[in-house]
A = this chain, B = another copy of it.
Amino acid sequence: MFLAKAILEGANQGLGEALGGLLGGGGQQRGGRGAGTGGNIGGIIGGIVNLISEATAAQYTPEPPPTRQHFTNVEASESEEVRWFRHQFAQLAGPDMEVGATDLMHILNKVLAKHKDLKTDGFSLDTCRSIVSVMDSDTTGKLGFEEFKYLWNNIKKWQCVYKQYHRDGSGYLGSAQLRGALQAAGFQLNEQLYQMIIRRYADEEGRMDFNNFISCLVRLDAMFRAFKSLDRDADGLIQVSIREWLQLTMYS
């Protein structure tokens, strides 16, 4: 997808390359509230506070993005684990060697069935379509081996975090545990963003089950990576047109 494509292209290219170079070069500095008002010390301080507030509102360092190597590109030095994973992928994927949303749903729910301690009502097809979209760097509509491996490694990591944090035995993550879990997964978010995540992904009692936790983190990871990829001058701001905006938000 375009969002994942932006991520894949990396910092030197970003969505601009993927969209035919329509993004102008360099970033545009946006003035803070007081930044342009000369002698207004209060305004300047306010501006600095705002900038710090913006910069610290959300932080995350993702894994390196999936490469574009084809499934058949087997490295001689590949570990036993990767070779086993490649074999599993080959069984799961169709003749096109890609995993679609329905395949993903089946494999996730099959694995979940073995983990009775994880509270879940299963991964729906809608959720899996969304996951495939955010991970689909090459816009084939499905996940190739590298894209799938990237996703699976993240899910394994986050599953460990979930198991570590749902200490009360309910199988859910409570809102109090969620902060710790997100931090353990590498996400530093301000209070407003935490509350928003709880509103979107937790139930009416503020509890988050496993499939919602994974959906949330897959999306968070992808959105952070997309932003970083587009923020080529690393000034904490990105500028997008309506077309880019729709590509980023609709194919997810």
Is A65 among interface residues, defined by CB-CB distance under 8 A?
Answer: no
Is the Cβ of A237 less than 8 Å from the Cβ of B239? yes
Is the Cβ of A246 less than 8 Å from the Cβ of B126? no
Docked CA distance A237–B220 (Å): 24
Is the Cβ of A133 less than 8 Å from the Cβ of B32? no
Is A111 among interface residues, defined by CB-CB distance under 8 A?
Answer: no
The 8 Å CB contact of A219, one of B129, B193, B245, B250, is B250
Is A109 among interface residues, defined by CB-CB distance under 8 A?
Answer: no
Cβ contacts A173-189/B at 8 Å (1 or 0 each): 00000000000000001
- Chain B residue at minimal CB-CB distance from A220: B250
Is A139 among interface residues, defined by CB-CB distance under 8 A?
Answer: yes
Docked CA distance A50–B20 (Å): 10
With A28-B30, A223-B246 as contacts: A54 and B196 at CB distance below 8 Å: no
With A204-B100, A249-B249 as contacts: A139 and B193 at CB distance below 8 Å: no
Interface CB pairs A-B, < 8 A, 24:
A1-B196, A22-B53, A24-B33, A28-B30, A54-B242, A54-B243, A57-B243, A58-B246, A124-B126, A126-B126, A133-B200, A139-B199, A141-B199, A192-B243, A193-B243, A193-B247, A196-B247, A199-B251, A200-B250, A216-B250, A220-B246, A237-B240, A238-B240, A248-B249
Interface residues of A (CB under 8 A from B): 1-2, 21-24, 28, 30-33, 50, 53-54, 57-58, 100, 121, 124-127, 129-130, 133, 136, 139, 141, 189-190, 192-193, 196-197, 199-201, 204, 215-216, 219-220, 223-224, 227, 231, 236-243, 245-252
